[in-house]
Amino acid sequence: MTSRLADSRSPYLRGHAGNPVAWYPWGPEAFAEAARRDVPVFVSIGYSTCHWCHVMARESFSDDAIAAQLNEGFVAIKVDREEHPDVDTTYLAAAAAFTPNLGWPLSVFATPAGVPFYAGTYYPPRARGPAPGFSDVLAAVREAWTERRGDVEGTAVAIAHALRAAPAPPGAPGGLPSTDDLAAAAGLLAAAEDRTFGGFLLGGSADAPKFPLATVLRFLQERGLQEAAPLAAPIAARTVAAIAASPLRDPVGGGFFRYATRRDWSAPHYERMLTDNAQLLDAAVRAQAEPVATGIVAYLIDVLQQPSGGFGAAQDSESIIAGERSEGGYYAQDAAGRAQLAPPAVDGKVVSGWNGLAIGALARAG
């Protein structure tokens, strides 16, 4: 089977070119084919350095039986969220109606017009504990499309209406958050501060994955410049110090990993993103954490910078050790051990907005 993804500019799409799934890239051809066959569309959204995207690719998209289900009952579309952030944002908003645990890979089922009617994230190939198997999900969606089309189309109409009717958040085009909004946000963040391990306990669960939340740190640092919010900047400084001393920071190569799965910042997911590190560089500079800032600068220049001068989007979470793919195995080595291994791959895609963040942060770092 000739792959439609083999010549893609996206390394994420090219990585799926060898799947037995008859993937289409995002575009009108895929939706026209779904309309011609009168089948739903399956849209899989991810990015090249995402750990769980790799896992689902190995478990499900490389499985001949699951690929046959997809090819027979659906038109399958693979989307790089960094190429199509608008698609990602729209389908993430729709997916919130079906699961509170948003993330990637994002798995969306839509009508041939592209309107979503069901969504989830990572699915194991077969049922695993309370998690349904992807094979079972495909069978259930196909059965609903075939036998209960009216219900499916009704759900799609309701989702489309909800997306159109959703109020714009404070700060959206056409308005700015009020002084009271900003003060309330700072108060909520202060109440959510994790005084034991640093960072913030958000989402109602102390066991939820913890992110460094660079935009939150920068907001608090800006608030700290105002006499009315003298405690905001110290909260940010405590978080910068906590994550700098945690497993979330790479002590050898500098820079920070994407997030941790435990409250104490242990068990990171090891992808390193340009957006995170550019904004954390700003936060470190403003917190006067010079060693932290120096490490991030070294990471950006030594690892992410491309021959063109721009900065790549991210570095993979996985590496090859002894012939096997390993999540974080490269980072468990010291400098001498790493010198004997090929480093995790870098997605060299130069995203203009993300490069703007990096250039600005580097300029402010001096």
pLDDT tens sequence across 244-289: 999 999 999 999 999 999 999 988 999 999 999 999 999 999 999 9
Mean pLDDT of the chain: 92
**Which residues on adjacent β-strands are paired with residue 305?**
311
Q: Is 264 exposed, middle or buried (0-12, 13-18, 19+ CB in 10 A)?
A: middle
* CATH 3.40.30.10 domain residues, the chain: 11-165
- Quick one: pLDDT band at residue 174, thresholds 50, 70, 90? low
Give start and end residues of each alpha helix (H) in 230-313.
232-244, 274-286, 290-299
pLDDT score recorded for residue 3: 86
Averaged pLDDT, 224-240: 86
What's the pTM value of the predicted model, to 2 decimals? 0.83
One-letter identity of residue 189: L
Q: Give every CB contact of residue 113 below 8 A, 6+ residues apart in sequence.
A: 31, 35
Please determine, looking at this structure, whether the domain spanning 11-165 carries the CATH number 3.40.30.10.
yes
pLDDT score recorded for residue 322: 84
pLDDT score recorded for residue 208: 67
pLDDT at 175 over 70: no
Averaged pLDDT, 107-121: 97
pLDDT at 227 over 80: no
- Quick one: pLDDT band at residue 321, thresholds 50, 70, 90? confident
Return the percentage of the chain with pLDDT > 90, whole number: 79
Top CATH class of 179-365 equals mainly alpha
HSE, side-chain direction, 13 A CA sphere, residue 8: 24
Which has more confidence, 366 or 235? 235
- Quick one: pLDDT band at residue 171, thresholds 50, 70, 90? low
pLDDT score recorded for residue 230: 79
* Percentages (nearest 5) of helix, strand, coil residues in the chain: 45, 15, 40
pLDDT tens sequence across 51-90: 899 999 999 999 999 999 999 999 999 999 999 999 999 9
* CATH 1.50.10.10 domain residues, the chain: 179-365
Averaged pLDDT, 206-218: 86
Write the CA distances from 250 to 77, 259, 327, 331, integer angstroms. 35, 12, 14, 7
Return the percentage of the chain with pLDDT > 70, whole number: 95
